[in-house]
Structure 1
């Protein structure tokens, strides 16, 4: 009888500890997660967090999770890129990388939450990737001011005739 009571007490103690740990984990303030962008094309969707995310006032203090999304694309269907308001409330940069040339566009704050991107451009070739950047203006020792991205999200495109993770230039 004493053994049964001891076992039941041990089980009750372990269950109480487990419940306490679970309640503590669920009630902790995990804080907001990093913003994610999403890209969609012809039934394929990828959501990706930042490749690099630095402190705005200290652009050398960075977390680099190195996340990069991959999106299967073809020539007939454009990419629909969605940007959360956490990114779009500031000026942001959209980089569209094509095989022959890139397009860099500065987007004013509060103007766009979505962008349609052609997967092929007659003058630039195939779309190889997309990057979204949040710039911070910095000043060097000589007093020159220039933008440096403090956060960046990246999506690599995967064409049907290419293996994932190894884009090849169009011929």
Structure 2
């Protein structure tokens, strides 16, 4: 059991290091330009920069452009979400928010696995999709040594229903 935990810990540390290197390379290659996500549904599209973007190794060093997008949707056509390679090369998560925020779903994506996601606008159990958020994660440790993930960057899109 201890060996499994040690291996898991090493994998997490390597993922964080890879994320840090990726963010550093992205910043070096693009200067101050921050990555954007895009979403499309039934002839409407939106491209949005981050709501908040912090340095991966210093969550107190943040840019807060507070960008947020709106996308017109209907119940018959899904949302096609696209993230750039700058996001997909790191571990990221997608939050889907429904009419009752308690029904928010979270999906995690491993590095270099996913550039696009299809999201139904209507869930039979949760109702209408009201928004989505994409988050890049940083592993942090509290005073007791417990590790958990916090977002260091977030993009936000609200849906607009007819």
Instruction: Report how many aligned residue pairs link the two structures.
Output: 132
The corresponding residue for 2:137 is: 135
Return the structure number with greater helix share: 2
Match of 2:107 among 102, 105, 108: 105
Which ranges of structure 1 fall in alignment gaps of 5 or more residues?
1-28, 161-171
The corresponding residue for 2:24 is: none
Which ranges of structure 2 fall in alignment gaps of 5 or more residues?
1-28
Runs of 4+ in 1 over 2 A off after TM superposition: none
**When the two structures are superposed, what TM-score results if normalisation uses the length of structure 1?**
0.75
The corresponding residue for 2:62 is: 62
Q: Deviations over 1:141-169 (max 9, x none)?
A: 12111100000000000101xxxxxxxxx
- Counterpart Cα distance in 1 of 2:87 and 2:79: 19
Indicate the structure whose relative CO is greater, using CA pairs within 8 Å and at least 6 residues apart: 2
The corresponding residue for 1:150 is: 152
Q: Secondary structure at the match of 2:70?
A: strand
- Aligned-pair RMSD on alpha carbons? 1.3
**TM alignment of 1:11-160, pairs within 5 A:** 31=31, 33-100=33-100, 101-160=103-162
**When the two structures are superposed, what TM-score results if normalisation uses the length of structure 2?**
0.79
Which protein is bigger by CA-based radius of gyration?
1
